[in-house]
Structure 1
Amino acid sequence: MLSGYGRDARILIGANALGQTFLWFSFFIMPFYLKALGYGMKAMGVFFSAQTIVGGLFFLLAGPISLRLGYRRTLLLSALAGLAGRVLQVSAANWGVLFTGFVLVGVNMGLRQPNYNAYLSELVPDDKRHEAFSKSFGLGTLFNSLGVLLAGFLPGYLMGLSLAEETAYRVTFSLSILQFIFVIPALLVVRDVEVKEKRIRWERALILKILKFSLPSALIGLGAGITIPFMSLYFKIRFGETLSAISYVFFFQQLAMGLGSFGLPELVRRYGPVRVITSFQGTATFLFVIFPSIETFVPAGAVYVLRAILMNIIWPINSSFMMGFFKTEEKATANGIQQAFSTFMRGIGNSLGGTLFALSLAYPFYATALLYAVATGLFYTFFRRYN
């Protein structure tokens, strides 16, 4: 599957995939872990906001740091910060220790993705970039699905062995540390990519290119922030389902996205990246419009999985498409700014979503659909001639 790439690209993609097992795992289990530790929704909001804000700030710093350190060492710094953060979250000795853990995980989040995308794009030929990004996403998402399933069932199994609830969730969450046990050794053996230009020429054309990618991402981030963090609670409140039943929804979502992403490069070759991205996002937008009207759990879960596939499966193509517009020294900075736009708006969306869900279980989905529709229209307008 990865035989067409060089050694370093194969190591990077493989380590990323193994590490991804415990990325969505940690996102999925975190609210339940904090609840078991005795923290309420208000404290959770503070923790999540701190992580999001710090992540957004380091998205902006990801490019300048990589120009000084290189992509590999910046990714290594990111992984070490993430490892320290997870250790503190597992310890959770007190509120301050836990808060510091969220801050460090935010640093990891902000430094990692822009530099991973930039690094991978430099390790593979341009004609294989869409394929490499899709395979990296697909493998990572397949491993994600296993992590979500494990997170859904392990706490109940451990409590069945007479472990206290807090202990069961702490033991389960401690597995999130394994993400970095896979990633750090891989980063120690790969070679860095030389960045000849150590500074970026901030010309008008460059700024406009970054804004054209960032504005649709900001709208999608705002829409996603309104609904996505609340989905597990939505299924529980609307349909009264258990944690293990809800985990199946997210398991099938990740599994289907992972498998589907391997066929995506062929669609891109046939129809072009812009048509694929906008058609998938447009269909996902329609599904969010009808989602609140579904009254039983299984059809709602199926529609949510399909919507998630359509909306998320195209992100590696979006990232790969974006990398083709920028020079080596510009890639991490441009991608970091795009991710920062999305992250800050997602944080605003979290607050809006809480308010809208308090008013109605339907309003948030209509708001998200509207934002997705505008974002899709903007993206098509900006890039249709590059299809």
Structure 2
Amino acid sequence: MHPTFPLYYVGFEVGSGFAGLKLLPADGLTLVQDLVTLPSFLADGDIVTLLKGSDPHAKLADVLQPSDYVLSLEDHTYFLGRLLAHGTHSHNAFNDERRYWSEHAQVLLLCLACILIPERCFELRLVTALPVSLYERTRRQRVKQALSQQYRFSFNGRSREVIVKCGYVAMEGQGILIHCGDASSQQAVIDVGERTTDLVAAEGQRLLIPLCKGEQFGVGQLVEDLQQLVWRYKRKLSIEKAHALLTAYAHHQPYPSIPTGASSLPDEEIMQVITGSLKRLARALSSFLIGTWNVEGAPAGTQFDKIYLGGGGAYYFEEVVRQALQECHIVTVPDPEHASICGYAELAASLDEDRWEEAP
């Protein structure tokens, strides 16, 4: 550790819809906020253009509003958060596996950390994850090498210096095992995320690789169907607003108003699209669960003492999971969308000092 840099243990997920970061300060102090999520999109930014409509003497900090983030790294400026609409070429690199070890991941990590950490200089000791479908030695090493660096950059107009050491690259969903599981039983995780659903199996905390599998479906398909619905009215629906509709559906709350010109999007159409999407995805998810965890002569999934359901999709697919694995002990974890990054942070804080000295 740098002698003057505050140290934080970190759980981090790049995410395909939302990136997330959880902090555990090494000094044990309680933070006002220790967890943050952000749309996992970057846009190319131009600070000069951003300042054009303001006072001629205004500085960047003068024009930024809450949830506006500007990060400049290696002669490139990115807009994040609410500033995405003010940039160009907004993307989340979903179809590129390099997103987990490219500058895309670096920028998201640094931005999330700077949102939470006030110090100009600090050190992060990090655990992050790869989807099951990408989980192998070479890619894990690429992630560790790409993220483990000493960064000098600016965030919202203020210079920062951050040392990052990546001590371990987990399997997506493994954080739920760390956060909620135990040390000895046969256990598994169903992690339904934005774009991927990962099945993780373990004996205690040791992964059972043949029973781990991932597929590319998740909450993102629900978001896309809602966006298509709104597009029929010649309007665009942001990911954030689509998630607000889904959250209202899951918690039986009134839907936020979505303007469609002179009126608003009808509640019955929202309900129809969401229920139709869930029905379609339910068949795929059920087949995936049963096919992966099939047991000869016994119901699927019964080789496990307990199965944990997590990820943002837990709110929408709990009944589907319970129907598909009727004979299993299913536990929907508290705050399922954050359970994985909490587990990664806990793992980071528990790793031996030698692991950090070996970090690239």
Which has the bigger relative contact order, CA under 8 A and spacing at least 6?
Answer: 1
Relative to its length, the structure with more strand (as a share) is: 2
The structure number with the bigger radius of gyration is 2
Could you state the TM-score of these two structures normalised by the residue count of structure 1?
A: 0.27
